[in-house]
Amino acid sequence: MAVLNKIRQRSLVLILVIAMALFAFVIGDLFRNSTAFSGGPQDVIATVNGEDISRNDFMLKVKNYQDRFGGGQSSTQAMNAIYNQELRRIILDSEFEKVGLSVEKDEMRNLLKNSFSSYPEFQDENGNFDVNRLNAFIANLKEVSPETVPLSNFQVNYDSWTTNEQAIATNALQQTYYNMIKAGVGATIAEAKNDYMGDAQTVDVKYVQLPYASISDSLVKVSKSEIKEYVENHESKYKVDATREIVYVEFKEEASKADEDAIKNRLISLKNDRAEYNVNTKNTDTISGFSSTDNIEEFVNANSDVKYNDAFLRKSQLPAAAQDTLMNMNVGEYYGPYKDGEYYKLSKVVATERLPDSVKVRHILIPYAGSSSADPTINRTRAEANATADSILGVIKANRSKFVDLLELSSDKVSNENDGEIEFAYNDSFAPEFRSYSFDNNKGDIDVVETSFGYHVIEILDQTNFNKTVKVATIADEIEPSDETLQEVFNRMSKFEIAAKDADFTELAKERELTVKPITFKELDENIPGLGSQREIVRWSFDEDTEVGDYKKFPVSGFGFVVAKLVEKNEKGLMNVEDASVTALPEIRKEKKAKLLRDKISASSVEDIAKNQNQTVKTASAVSIKSTTLSGAGVEPKVVGAAFGLKEGETSKPIDGSNGVYVLQVTKINSGSELDNYSAIMNRLSTARKNTVQGKVYNALKEAAEIEDNRAKTVY
């Protein structure tokens, strides 16, 4: 009781202490995220030229984008696409405003007409575009918003429609803007002449090369400070985004040999009958096995991870691991267990039959609106197409000679030219339903078959090349790790994670026969080779609280676990000396070697320099300014360029080339004859330049834009 009294007496103090602790926790978190009071970057995806891309609007567009692709894009891929789309929109919108470009109402209607005139929903009875139907459709979308309605093969709502309208308008503005720029791009007669003379005028030269390779790398010392200075002097080449380097080890949740043996033994045990106690009848029942069951399909479906296929199969349709054996087996014989991809299988031949490998059929195709490759003018519904096909079938069944007369109703214009006839082999690319009917039925049969292209009235005219096929009952058991194996993997991972606290990560992995895999990624990267999308690992490595040397375990869906360790942080800016040295070191050595080689040159003529330096004089004929290759030396643009700055008979000063130091002499200038007219070359140059305008203009505008990218802190 005394203790309770003390607690009561001090309850106010305790409440105050707890309140202050909670307040400190909240305030601390707010200060760690200094924008929490202002609704800043966590609500702003990016700021482009002063305009914010809001989180809510951005995520709505991402959702609409993913809906449009039916889930075929990951969230990161969708976000990247919308971000680039919004970036382009904002950058170009400011340009449109400067020049007074806009899309007015009448022009917007014309753009929509061009985009949707082929849609049956917006056509009148004669197949012509009807603006009233378009207006009614948009009004209905707005009224039922946010519900979706069908449009052709898609589902759209008012938000996605307006987004699409904006995209159409933006594309039109962009095209007008780029066309305006292209109108000012061209080539002059002087440029055309220079281009022509670049091929027509050539020079013959003789030269001596002092190769950089003649000086050993070990004789040329390069300090870290020199590499640092080189990087700073070549800033654009060595500018990098922030990166993180991690190493990781994998703990795969995969079936062990014992698990696989257990799967194979289970499959074998299914062959025979087994006794099973029946709780309801208090009797021991005999459960039929694979060998004695009188219902193969039911038995397979009850015991297999893959449903029974009641079809005769050709060799190419059988599993590659078993096809030769299965084709040579008799009815009732077994093969397996055998491994086929992610399964162990036990197969039993239940029937054989000789079936054709080639057929000749004729058909009439009746498509409907929305069927594959249907002409835009087709507006009949699926039910109407089915009814038409059934009517045609009735006429032909009554009189087979009417088939050719009714071909005018068929949409397959190619086969129509051959009386509707098609000859094809089983392995040819045909709609599965079309192929199945043609090969699995008999010569003379005729019926209506539906495919993605519509309804076909098919008559089988002939079947040839009959070969053995087999009907196979296969019990497939997916190869999965057992609970014991999963627990063992988890235990191994946990023990490694604990041991890594006091041990060298790499050495510990080596002791436990684990492979250490390194990877470097940027803040917005998503995929890790072999593991797929792993944004959680990327986010952790870029978290400001994660330090070099920290490690953490991550579950990987459908794989198991990885334990990752952060080994290096590289912030945005210039590449560090160690990484830059890979490319900078050879260039610095080359510069130093060039100076050493130049200092060794004392003679003035090509022949004397070659003699003094124990080199040979080489020649190159018909060298053109457009070619960067110097015969006998390789790609040497600086040397070739220098040759065209010399007069005939003149000798150059030492030139630092790509592969050595050169001294050359022009022995002959071959002046090309001029053309009477350079119009064709002018047109070619103009066209080439116009074709590159669009990409270059946007890249230049993007480079000049002020962009604050907060994606990694907001949605990624």
> Which pLDDT tens digit goes with each residue over 213-270?
999 999 999 999 999 999 999 999 999 999 999 999 999 999 999 999 999 999 999 9
How much is the pLDDT for 519? Answer: 94
pLDDT class of 148 with cuts at 50, 70, 90: confident
The stretch 559-587 carries a mean pLDDT of: 93
CA 501 to chain centre: 38
How much is the pLDDT for 71? Answer: 65
Contact 81, 122 (CB under 8 A): no
CA–CA dist 105, 117 (Å, integer): 17
Residue 670: its H or E element: strand 660-670
Contact 109, 130 (CB under 8 A): no
CA–CA dist 650, 671 (Å, integer): 16
Please determine, looking at this structure, whether the domain spanning 243-254+481-571 carries the CATH number 3.40.5: no
How much is the pLDDT for 42? Answer: 67
How much is the pLDDT for 409? Answer: 93
How much is the pLDDT for 284? Answer: 83
* pLDDT tens digits along 512-554: 999 999 999 998 888 888 888 888 999 999 998 999 999 999 9
What burial letters (b/e) apply to 594-614, b meaning 16+ CB within 10 Å? beebeeebeeeebeebbeebe
- Kindly calculate the radius of gyration of the chain based on its CA atoms and give it in whole angstroms: 38
Judge whether residue 9 has pLDDT over 50.
no
Cβ-count burial of 382 within 10 angstroms (0-12 exposed, 13-18 middle, 19+ buried)?
Answer: middle
Residue with tokens 């007669």: 189
How much is the pLDDT for 167? Answer: 84
Judge whether residue 137 has pLDDT over 80.
yes
CA–CA dist 623, 640 (Å, integer): 7
Q: Name the least confident of 67-76, 153-162, 192-201, 603-612.
A: 67-76
The stretch 624-635 carries a mean pLDDT of: 92
Task: Provide the angle, in degrees to the nearest 10, between the axes of the packed helices 55-68 and 75-99.
Answer: 110
User: At CA 673, angle to CA 667 and CA 677, rounded to 5?
Assistant: 150
How much is the pLDDT for 446? Answer: 96
How much is the pLDDT for 526? Answer: 84
Residues forming beta bridges with residue 666, ordered by sequence position: 205
% of residues, the chain, pLDDT over 90: 64
Judge whether residue 91 has pLDDT over 80.
yes
Write the CA distances from 390 to 305, 366, 434, 443, integer angstroms. 38, 10, 16, 20
Report the C-alpha dihedral over residues 516, 522, 525, 528, rounded to 10 degrees.
Answer: -10
Going by C-alpha positions, the residue among 323, 339, 355 that lies closest to residue 472 is 323
The stretch 665-684 carries a mean pLDDT of: 93
How much is the pLDDT for 20? Answer: 53
The CATH class for the domain spanning 202-240+577-670 reads: alpha beta
How much is the pLDDT for 484? Answer: 96
For the domain covering 256-479, report its CATH number: 3.10.50.40
Residues forming beta bridges with residue 554, ordered by sequence position: 562
CA–CA dist 660, 597 (Å, integer): 9
Judge whether residue 330 has pLDDT over 60.
yes
pLDDT class of 61 with cuts at 50, 70, 90: confident
pLDDT class of 70 with cuts at 50, 70, 90: low
Judge whether residue 13 has pLDDT over 80.
no
% of residues, the chain, pLDDT over 70: 93
Contact 270, 259 (CB under 8 A): no
The stretch 461-469 carries a mean pLDDT of: 94
* pLDDT tens digits along 382-411: 999 999 999 999 999 999 999 999 999 999
DSSP-derived letter for residue 428 is S
Residues forming beta bridges with residue 454, ordered by sequence position: 451
How many CA atoms are closer than 13 Å to the CA of 297, on its beta-carbon side? Answer: 4
Residues forming beta bridges with residue 155, ordered by sequence position: 150
How much is the pLDDT for 516? Answer: 96
pLDDT class of 105 with cuts at 50, 70, 90: confident
How many CA atoms are closer than 13 Å to the CA of 672, on its beta-carbon side? Answer: 18
Judge whether residue 131 has pLDDT over 80.
yes
Write the CA distances from 177 to 101, 609, 617, 698, integer angstroms. 8, 58, 56, 11
Residue with tokens 């966590």: 42
The stretch 110-122 carries a mean pLDDT of: 86
Mean residue pLDDT of the chain comes to 89
How much is the pLDDT for 550? Answer: 95
Q: DSSP string spanning 273-307?
A: -EEEEETTTTEEEEEP-TTT-S-HHHHHHHH-SS-
Q: Name the least confident of 153-162, 440-449, 475-484.
A: 153-162
Q: Could you tell me the two tokens for 556?
A: 């990987």
Walk across the sheet containing 51-54 and list its strands.
Answer: 51-54, 44-48, 707-709
Going by C-alpha positions, the residue among 515, 483, 484, 510 that lies closest to residue 499 is 510
DSSP-derived letter for residue 651 is B
How much is the pLDDT for 38? Answer: 41
